[in-house]
Amino acid sequence: MIAYYNGQFLESDKIQISPFDRGFQFADGAYEVVRYYPNKFFEFDAHMERLKYSLSQLDISSVNIERFQEIFVELIQKNELFDQSSIGYIQITRGVQFPRRHSPDPVISPTIFMYVEKLSPNKETHANGVTVGLGEDIRWIRCDIKSISLLANILTKKGAVDKGVYEIVWSRNGFITEGTHTNVAFVKNNVVITPPLNSFILAGITRKVVLKLCDELKLQHEERNISVEELNTMDECFLMATTSEITPVVKIASSTFRTGAPGKVTMLLQKEFQKNIHRNKLM
């Protein structure tokens, strides 16, 4: 695989990252994930805006984001993925620093690593839905930053896999936040309800597109706190993410939605979402 590392396109197994990189030492960095469908990136600019936000919150500067789309096009071409769906990762750390100190050395420059992987949409989960569990949110309180420090997400997702569920949806102080790699929404009496943007959740790009689609479809929507007790009064539930797109949830912990099949509003949004992906080719 050809990857991009600090200004060069290289075979990924030839890339050597310093053990003194602050990403390795402290998980001191941010990342972003973009999706490519043949001939089109999904909401590329929105992903770059969020990356800029994450970097600004970490006070990591001098990253030239303007070139990232060009770099991804080149990675897709070099890896012969032009006609396939793929996912692109941008991993940015504050850089290499020795001797090791918590306080960042102001003169170091960021490490930038980018690569693409083939990723086809999951037709099975999209059509039939998934079961998810509930868990206490064990993360810090700056979940609005897409930080490379993902231990809480990894441990929780491992728990989901061990339990045989697709995802764990977290709650904090009795209110739903999000999943380990997804935002979550519910439908009650045809109203789409999702937790509000604050520092307890990531401002998902898919979530933003879904709310825009609700407007276009004249579907009422609310961004408000949702208590765990309220879950068994909901009619439908779905997950939203760049990787999972819109994935219906048929069961969450002990609450089964309707007959345990994907809901009508969910499937309508999923259909519109697919149309939206292919609406305007960018390249």
Ligand X SMILES: Cc1ncc(COP(=O)(O)O)c(C=O)c1O
User: Near ligand X by CB under 6 A, which window of 87-95, 122-130, 197-205, 247-255?
Assistant: 197-205
User: Near ligand X by CB under 6 A, which window of 180-188, 213-221, 257-265, 268-276?
Assistant: 180-188
Q: Among 171, 182, 194, 266, indicate the residue that binds ligand X (CB under 6 A).
A: 182
Catalytic residue among 78, 123, 146, 251: 146
User: Near ligand X by CB under 6 A, which window of 125-133, 178-186, 187-195, 218-226?
Assistant: 178-186
Q: State the minimum distance, in angstroms, from the CB of residue 10 to ligand X.
A: 26
Taking CB under 6 A as the rule, does residue 181 contact ligand X?
A: yes
**Could you tell me which of 149, 131, 161, 171 has the C-alpha nearest to residue 57?**
149
Q: Which residues of 54-81 are buried (b: 16+ CB within 10 A; e: fewer)?
A: bbeebebeebebeebbebbebbbeebeb
Query: Which helix (H) or strand (E) covers residue 238, if one does?
Result: strand 236-241
Please enumerate in sequence order all residues whose Cβ is within 8 A of that of 279, keeping only pairs 6 or more positions apart, or say none.
none
Query: Which helix (H) or strand (E) covers residue 68, if one does?
Result: helix 68-78
**Could you tell me which of 42, 39, 143, 49 has the C-alpha nearest to residue 87?**
42
Q: Among 202, 219, 231, 252, indicate the residue that binds ligand X (CB under 6 A).
A: 202
**Could you tell me which of 20, 210, 13, 34 has the C-alpha nearest to residue 116?**
34
Distance in angstroms (rounded) separating the CA atoms of residues 34 and 116: 9
Here the tokens at position 116 are 């693409």
Asked whether 177 and 201 are in contact (CB, 8 A), the reply is yes
Which x/- pattern, by CB under 6 A, does the window 30-69 give for ligand X? Answer: ---x------------------------------------
Q: Among 25, 79, 183, 194, indicate the residue that binds ligand X (CB under 6 A).
A: 183
Here the tokens at position 194 are 């999702």
Taking CB under 6 A as the rule, does residue 178 contact ligand X?
A: yes
The residue among 94 and 207 lying less far from ligand X, judged by its C-beta, is 207
Distance in angstroms (rounded) separating the CA atoms of residues 33 and 72: 11
Taking CB under 6 A as the rule, does residue 205 contact ligand X?
A: yes
The residue among 97 and 206 lying less far from ligand X, judged by its C-beta, is 206
Q: State the minimum distance, in angstroms, from the CB of residue 60 to ligand X.
A: 19
Q: Do you know the residue count of the chain?
A: 283
Which x/- pattern, by CB under 6 A, does the window 211-250 give for ligand X? Answer: -----------------------------xxx--------
Please indicate whether residue 146 is annotated as part of the active site: yes
Distance in angstroms (rounded) separating the CA atoms of residues 229 and 232: 7
The residue among 126 and 207 lying less far from ligand X, judged by its C-beta, is 207
Q: Enumerate binding residues for ligand X (CB under 6 A).
A: 33, 178, 181-183, 202, 204-207, 240-242
- Annotated catalytic residues are 146
